[in-house]
Structure 1
Amino acid sequence: MIRHLGVFQFKPEVTEDEIKHCFAELCAMVGQIPGLLKVEHGPHKSDEGLDDGFTHAFCMTFDSFESRDAYLPHPVHQERVELISPKLERLVVLDFEVTSENSKEL
């Protein structure tokens, strides 16, 4: 399983409704892009002071690196890139593989 993590810093003029629409569009990709199993997201919620100005985060779960690789140029994803990118100051994305060695559940 592959986790595709991202953090967004939206531009100050972007409204809450626009942000909600962006994340609804990301979630709508589940079922449209093969191997994309789940999308989770939310606004930053911590007083720790380590957010570096990022306002929101998302986590996508893919069944394999191959599915993640196919997602990147997929037309449905590219539509979301065109929708969301102009609303962002900054974006960071990291991917990692979830294995039995680096995962534990209660």
Structure 2
Amino acid sequence: MVRHFGVFKFKPGVDGEQIEQCFRAMKDMVGKIEGLLDMEYGEYNSTEGLNEDFTHGFVMTFDTLESRDAYLPHPVHETVKEFVVPKLERVIVFDINVPQV
């Protein structure tokens, strides 16, 4: 399994409804892209204060590395990126393999 996770810092002026629309568009990819099993998202809520101004995060679960690799250039993903990326000031994405126990 592969976890594809990231954090977003939205541009000034992007409101809560626009942020929710971004994440709904991302969540809607589940079922449209083979091997994308799940997507979760939320607002930063820790008192630790290590978010470096990133306000929201997401985690996607893919069944295999190959599915993740096919997702990256997938037309559905490209369409969602066209909607989401212009609203972002910064983004970090990181992937890890999660061994099956």
TM-score range, shorter chain: over 0.9
Mapped pair 1:92 → 2:96: no
**Superposition deviation, residue 100 in structure 1:** 4.5
Unaligned runs of 5+ in 2: none
User: Structure 1: how far apart are the matches of 2:74 and 2:100?
Assistant: 29
Letter in 2 for 1:13: G
Alpha-carbon deviations, 1:75-94, whole Å to 9, x = none? 00001111010100000000
Question: What RMSD in Å do the two structures reach over aligned CA positions?
Answer: 0.9
Q: What SS does structure 2 have at the residue aligned with 1:96?
A: strand
Q: Scaled by the length of structure 1, what TM-score is found?
A: 0.93
Gaps of 5+ in 1: 102-106
Detail structure 1 runs of 4+ shifted over 3 Å in the superposition.
Answer: none
SS in 2 for 1:50: coil
- Give the counterpart letter for 2:93 in structure 1: V
Counterpart of 2:39 in structure 1 is 39
Among all aligned residue pairs of Structure 1 and Structure 2, give the percentage whose two residues are the same amino acid: 54
Count of residue correspondences: 101
Superimposed CA distance per residue, residues 14-65 of structure 1 (whole angstroms, 9 cap, x where no aligned partner) = 0100000000000100000000000000000012110001000000000000
Residues of 2 paired with 1:38 and 1:12: CA distance?
29
Counterpart AA for 1:29: M
Residue correspondence of structure 1 range 14-29 to structure 2 within 5 A = 14-29=14-29
Question: C-alpha separation between the residues in 2 aligned to 1:77 and 1:23?
Answer: 12
Mapped to 2, the partners of 1:29 and 1:49 lie a distance apart of 31
Q: Quick one: distance in 1 between partners of 2:49 and 2:43?
A: 14
Mapped partners of 1:42, 1:7: distance in 2? 10
